[in-house]
Amino acid sequence: MGGILIIRSKGMGDIIHLISALRALREKFPHERIAFLCQKPFGSIIPASLNIESIEMPSHPSFMESLNFLKKIREQKFEKVFDLYGNMRTALISLFSGASQRNGFGYRVRKYAYNGVFVPPNPNKHLAELFVDFFNHFGMDIAYFKPTLEYSGDESRKADSIINSCKAKKPILGINIHATYPAKKWPTEYFLETARYWSRETGGSTLFFWGPGEELAVENALNGILSSHRDNLLPTNNHAKNENSSATNASIATNDRPTTYVASSVGSLPANENSTQTENRKTFSEKPHFFTHPPLNLNELIALIDRVDLFLTSDTGPMNIAWALGKPVTALFGPTTPDSVAPKEGRNLILSNPNLDCLRCHREICEKNTCMTEMKPEWVFNKIKTLYPEFFNMTQTNSKETVEKVR
């Protein structure tokens, strides 16, 4: 069979950064067989137009499963292997692949699995560019491209359905409250406060995103909003138990419908209030409109992120999705290094606490977590207003017209 095998087993953001090099390799070698090895579901991130074969490796294989997988890779008879992950497992896959050219990073003992080793002169170089340098070190002679993402028509229609069924108001703020480890996380209450500022000053909606295992965190966050409004926040998709149920009975949707929460000025109105009651409610600027989504696969998540006008997050994989889609990103950094992973091109706002010497410590747990907690919502929101004034000049009339066009 022959061809090129590229390995990056996991890391959503890292794989998005790798798309730059993959696109350049496909342009350089339009007829070459190129395969990408990773864990499920990350292979679906790779744009279908690149015609790159996806090979999924088991996440927690038994000894026999590992042997069978190595046999499967060896039977492919790849001529070149590029290991851009470099842990013990991927080093062994490279070593036993049978490829005549095995290339990887110069990590400790693992470097002996390769006959070509790359040691980055600047390990903090932006990852998308560093991956291009990696391939060029081994003579591939490719250029940098900004990563881009793709999704299907069905995924696009599902995203439109979520936005339209919630009657989302432009501009839409997308929020990802999660992080892969605690030290990177901006406090949930800070995200909520920023969402309130957004609603009050733009009239726009806020869409809270979540992935596998994160649904409860979003539910708790929205329940926090419910508590702060003292039953004045109502689910609008009839998730309440009956007409007179208050918002305290609301929960995140686990079916095909998103859940929407809006603040009411008159207490526990039923979710199916009539038009007269609606007219008696406060103006939209005083009535936050927050919503979330049903369970989504990775490409459906990509399509939905493409519907927001601004994406607010800490250093996460969805941050890189928004960047690759060309969405304006406000990214909050503390223990990690923005030079290597923060969004590059575009109107992005990369924020960190300017008064600390302990930034970029790369700790996963920090008792104080000052780098994140001292970036207050007011400060972040003022930075957003300065960089993106157009979001604060949009009228509700224009917003409705924009949403209709998305359909």
- Domain boundary assignment for the chain: 4-137, 153-406
Determine the pLDDT at residue 228: 59
327 vs 307: CA distance, rounded Å: 9
Q: Which residues lie across from 6 on neighbouring strands?
A: 36, 82
Task: Return the minimum-mean-pLDDT range out of 158-167, 217-226, 242-251, 361-370.
Answer: 242-251
Fold match between domain 4-137 and domain 153-406 = yes
Question: Of all helices (H) and strands (E), which one includes residue 159?
Answer: helix 153-165
> pLDDT tens digits, residue range 267-292?
222 233 333 333 332 333 345 689 99
Determine the pLDDT at residue 98: 97
More confident residue, 264 or 176: 176
Tell me how many helices (H) and strands (E) the chain has: 14, 14
pTM over 0.85: no
392 vs 378: CA distance, rounded Å: 16
> pLDDT tens digits, residue range 57-106?
988 889 999 999 999 999 999 999 999 999 999 999 999 999 999 999 99
Which three-class secondary structure state does DSSP give residue 41? coil
**Residue 258 pLDDT grade (very low, low, confident, very high; cuts 50, 70, 90):** low
Residue 4 amino acid letter: I
**Residue 256 pLDDT grade (very low, low, confident, very high; cuts 50, 70, 90):** low
Cβ-Cβ contacts under 8 Å for 211 (sequence gap 6 or more) = 178, 301, 318
To the nearest whole percent, how much of the chain has pLDDT over 90? 70
85 vs 69: CA distance, rounded Å: 17
Determine the average pLDDT of the residues in 363-372. Answer: 88
Q: Would the pLDDT of 243 be above 60?
A: no
Determine the pLDDT at residue 220: 82
97 vs 238: CA distance, rounded Å: 55
Determine the pLDDT at residue 94: 97
Q: Please report, for residues 153, 154, 161, 256, 368, the alpha-carbon distance to residue 157 in angstroms, rounded to integers and kept in the order given.
A: 6, 5, 6, 13, 44
Cβ proximity of 298 and 309 under 8 Å: no
- A 10 A CB-CB count for 100 gives 10
Q: What is the DSSP letter of 307?
A: T
Determine the average pLDDT of the residues in 194-201. Answer: 95
**Residue 394 pLDDT grade (very low, low, confident, very high; cuts 50, 70, 90):** low
**Residue 356 pLDDT grade (very low, low, confident, very high; cuts 50, 70, 90):** confident
Q: Would the pLDDT of 257 be above 50?
A: yes
Determine the average pLDDT of the residues in 259-274. Answer: 36
Q: Would the pLDDT of 36 be above 70?
A: yes
Determine the average pLDDT of the residues in 393-397. Answer: 56
Q: What is the DSSP letter of 136?
A: H
**153-406, which class in CATH?**
alpha beta
Q: Which residues lie across from 176 on neighbouring strands?
A: 209, 313
Determine the average pLDDT of the residues in 321-343. Answer: 96
Average pLDDT along the chain: 84
Residue 387 amino acid letter: L
CATH entry, 4-137, from 3.40.50.720, 3.40.50.970, 3.40.50.2000, 3.30.43.10: 3.40.50.2000
Beta-sheet pairing, 116-118 with 310-314 = unpaired
